[in-house]
Each structure stands twice: as structure tokens, then as C-alpha cells.
Amino acid sequence: MKYSTVKVNGLNVFYRESGDSNKPTFLLLHGFPTASHMFRNLMPILENDFHVIAPDFIGFGQSDAPVHTEFKYTFVNLTNYVDGFLDAMKIDKFYMYVFDYGAPIGFNLAVKYPDRILGIVSQNGNIYQEGLGSKWEGRRSYWANPTEELRENYKSAFKPETIIGQYTGGEKAGSVSPDGYTLDIHYTESPDYAERQSDLIFDYQSNVANYPKYQKYVREYQPEIIAAWGKNDPSFVYQGAQSFTKDDKNTEVHLLDGGHFVLETHYQEIGQLILNKWA
């Protein structure tokens, strides 16, 4: 495993990398509130068959995090930096693994470069209205009427107990290692964290607006998709996984007995699904 940074548009993007760069690349795109360390158990499973690479988005993990008054924390901008990262690393065609926030970023890339995508793993990486759990009704109200009070209320998403709940919800008691959520909680203590993440919560509405665009890509290009979903996730419910099948005949759906962070407990199973299909 290699850990390094590369400059993209003047900012340092941290990444972890393993495997032979002459083999097909597997790009791993994390979500909120985590970073590339969420793939720490998956990468060793894939590294013999793929060149595996996982960047931290700008504002996350070990990558640079400009203050929100000097950087636009939008999904379009985060996508631009992942795009620049791929250019800097000279990565052309790739498989991609998308989770949570990584889904709109990954599908933005797929819409822009459809011929570069070799295959997709969507792990609780939603692009369908059917996949939005009940909590999103409140978010829609906030997007329609973005008061400062509501912005403050949504900062509860960054509290330690909320993050621990995201990891352990829907999982068997005692099955989730504290390593991932402890590091995520540490990252919330960085300067300006709540403000930049609040900007992204507000901007998530742009991803929902883009769902038809992402679905059109799936319908037209019929990429091979593994929808490996924690079926007990209250945020992105399992109907989001099943919805891929209505647009793409090359979709496999695997509903796993876990929650939002199902990779924490099912990394061996998900890794084997990938190897069975593409190795």
C-alpha cells in the first residue's frame, strides 16, 4: 500500500494506492462523513487483480480543506478535483466503486466520460428517488427554505453520536470496529469542518436534480453494475439498489444484512462479488 498526495489545481489531494498500475484501475470514491480509509479492508482483497486507488475528496480526510469562504464546496467542484486527480495520475479507463457522496461524483464523471467507465459498484450510492429514505423530506424543506436556523440544526450530522449511529445502525451488535468512526470523529474537529460540510448538505439538492441525467447514462450505456447495498440503511433505502434494474439489464443486486456502512462488516463478501465478476 502506498500513501501519497498529488497537486490538483494548487491543492493537495491525498490518496492511497495498491496493486500493479499496469492492471485495470479500480477507483474507490468514499462518502460522508468518511474518507479513503473506509476502503482499508477492501483494497488488499482487490490489489492482486487491479490497480486500486482511493482519493480523499477536497475538504475530507487528509486532503487540503480550504475554508468555505474561499472555496466552493459543491459536488460539481468536488467532481472537478477528482477529474483533475485522474488526469494527474494518468488514469484513463477505470472501474469505480461509489458510496454515498461518491455516487454523484462518480456518476458526474460517467456522464462526462461514458467510454472511460469499465464497470460500477454502487454500495448505498443512490441515483433514484426511490432510494431516498424518510429523512430526505426534511432536507427538501430545508433546500426550499434555507434558514440559518435549519443550517445550524443540520450540524447535528457531525456529532459523534450521529456518526457512530451511521456506522452501527442496522448492524449486528459488536460487529462494527470502532476504527472507522473514531477517525471520522477526529476529522470533524478540524477547523471550519461544520461550515464546509454544511455547504455540501445544502448543495446535495443538485445531485437529486441530476438523478434523471445519471439514469439516462445508465439506460443508454448499460454499464455492468453491482449494486451491493446495506439493506437496513435508513438514509439510502434498498429500493435504490433495486431501481438500477429497471434501467440497466447488466445490473446485479445484492441486499446485504447491514446498514449504511455495510462495507465495514461485509468487505470480504463485497470484494468477492467484484472478483467473481471482473477479475
Mind listing the pLDDT tens digit for each residue in 151-192? 999 999 999 999 999 999 999 999 999 999 999 999 999 999
50 pLDDT exceeds 90? yes
Write the CB contacts of 194 (distance below 8 Å, at least 6 apart in sequence): 155, 158, 188
In the chain, the number of structural domains is: 1
- Beta bridge pairs of residue 55: 15
C-alpha cell at 181: 468512526
Mean of pLDDT values over 249-270 = 98
Q: What is the pLDDT of residue 120?
A: 98
pLDDT band at 268 (very low <50, low <70, confident <90, very high): very high
Residue 14's SS3 state is: strand
Please write the tens of the pLDDT for every residue from 89-110: 999 999 999 999 999 999 999 9
pTM for the structure as a whole: 0.98
Q: The domain that contains 152 carries what CATH number?
A: 3.40.50.1820
Mean of pLDDT values over 69-95 = 98
135 pLDDT exceeds 90? no
Q: Which residue numbers are catalytic?
A: 260
Residue 230's SS3 state is: strand
Q: Residue 172, exposed/middle/buried by CB under 10 A (0-12, 13-18, 19+)?
A: exposed
Q: How far is CA 145 from CA 73, 140, 142, 168, in A?
A: 19, 9, 5, 32
Give the residue numbers spanning the domain of 252: 2-278
